[in-house]
């Protein structure tokens, strides 16, 4: 049963890692990977010699960190709320509605968001004008754009991300709640003293996985929502690789950037795993 998953990871994850050698070469299509000139750390020196590169790394880290910090609690809260519903048809209908946005393409979601917050024909600005206010350029203001970016991710993925917590909640022994009720615990005490401690291993696991992706903002989401007016906060590693690597053809430089990004992610995963073990030992 493990054969197919192992083949998947070997073919699509480990074999492509051989291509990271391009980061240490002056890669050209004509010469190929093995025939291209070896340049050592020159590409990495070029990366850190450009002010734009440091800005890209900063933007990637800040946006990813904000995404994890802001959006991480929402699936947990949603899963607990859904778990407390006792009307089955309403619970199933709510789950379907909440899961649905995850399956929309970011092209569709981005188009909806841009139209909603548009200065000329957006319903938000229409209501502002109806109450005597002036139209506000949401997508061109740095603070508003960042809030919309984070909010759109929460709206799209919270329902789907809650599935793993719902599965963990279903495995909690009901006798824990019965004992809590006998001891006089109200619903809030049951959640804080029974539900959340039982969810702790799952929360830590998802936190470690989220930390490993802290340098991965996602190309489609940022590419659809960004615009020249907020370029100084929306240019990230994924868009940098697209512009410099695919559009300009500098594969060596962007491979070096991707390798650096992966090393940072690995360090963050190891650090998060270490902190999780320390906190787990302190709690239990």
Tens of pLDDT along 107-132? 888 888 988 988 877 888 888 888 88
- The per-residue pLDDT for 284 is 47
The per-residue pLDDT of the chain, averaged, comes to 84
Q: What is the pLDDT of residues 52-111, one digit of tens each?
A: 778 888 888 888 888 888 888 999 999 999 988 888 889 889 888 998 888 888 888 888
* Domain boundaries, given as residue ranges, for the chain: 74-171+215-247
Query: 271-275 — which CB contacts under 8 Å span 24+ positions?
Result: 271/211, 272/207, 272/208, 272/211, 272/212, 273/208
Enter the DSSP assignment of 232.
H
Enter the DSSP assignment of 203.
H
- The per-residue pLDDT for 279 is 62
| Distance from C-alpha of 257 to C-alpha of 242, rounded to nearest angstrom | 12
Q: What is the pLDDT of residues 15-56, one digit of tens each?
A: 888 888 888 888 877 777 787 888 888 888 887 777 777 888
- The per-residue pLDDT for 254 is 80
pLDDT band at residue 8 using 50, 70 and 90 as cut-offs: very high
Contacts of 15 (CB under 8 A, 6+ apart): none
- The per-residue pLDDT for 76 is 92
- Locate the DSSP E strands across 23-74: 25-26, 37-38
Helical ranges in 21-50 per DSSP H:
32-35, 42-49
Q: Are 145 and 138 in contact (CB under 8 A)?
A: yes
The answer to which of 143-147, 249-253, 279-283 has the lowest mean pLDDT is 279-283
Q: Within 10 A of 23 (CB to CB), how many other CB atoms are there?
A: 23
Strand partners, 38: 25
CATH architecture observed for domain 74-171+215-247: Orthogonal Bundle (1.10)
The answer to which of 170-174, 221-225, 268-272 has the lowest mean pLDDT is 268-272
Q: Which of 46-60, 138-152, 228-242, 252-266 has the highest mean pLDDT?
A: 138-152
Q: Calculate the CA dihedral of residues 205, 207, 208, 210 and round it to 10 degrees.
A: 120
């Amino acid at each position: 049963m493990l054969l197919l998953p192992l083949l998947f990871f070997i073919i699509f994850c480990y074999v492509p890692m051989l291509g990271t050698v391009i980061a240490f070469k002056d890669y050209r299509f004509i010469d190929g990977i093995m025939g291209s000139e070896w340049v050592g750390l020159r590409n990495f020196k070029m990366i850190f010699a450009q002010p734009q590169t440091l800005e890209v790394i900063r933007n990637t880290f800040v946006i990813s960190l904000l995404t994890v910090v802001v959006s991480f609690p929402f699936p947990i809260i949603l899963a607990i709320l859904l778990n407390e519903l006792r009307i089955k048809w309403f619970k199933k209908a709510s789950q379907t509605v909440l899961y649905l946005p995850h399956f929309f393409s970011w092209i569709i979601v981005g188009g909806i968001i841009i139209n909603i917050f548009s200065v000329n024909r957006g319903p938000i600005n229409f209501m502002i004008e109806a109450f005597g206010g002036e139209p506000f350029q949401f997508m061109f203001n740095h603070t508003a754009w960042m809030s919309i970016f984070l909010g759109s991710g929460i709206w799209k993925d919270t329902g789907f991300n809650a599935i793993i917590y719902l599965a963990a909640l279903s495995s909690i022994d009901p006798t824990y709640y019965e004992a809590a009720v006998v001891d006089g615990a109200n619903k809030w005490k049951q959640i804080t003293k029974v539900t959340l401690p039982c969810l702790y291993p799952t929360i830590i696991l998802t936190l470690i996985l989220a930390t490993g992706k802290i340098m991965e903002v996602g190309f489609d989401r940022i590419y659809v929502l960004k615009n020249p007016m907020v370029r100084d906060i929306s240019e990230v590693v994924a868009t940098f690789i697209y512009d410099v690597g695919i559009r300009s053809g500098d594969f060596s430089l962007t491979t070096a950037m991707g390798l650096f990004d992966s090393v940072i992610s690995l360090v963050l995963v190891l650090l998060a795993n270490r902190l999780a073990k320390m906190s787990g030992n302190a709690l239990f």
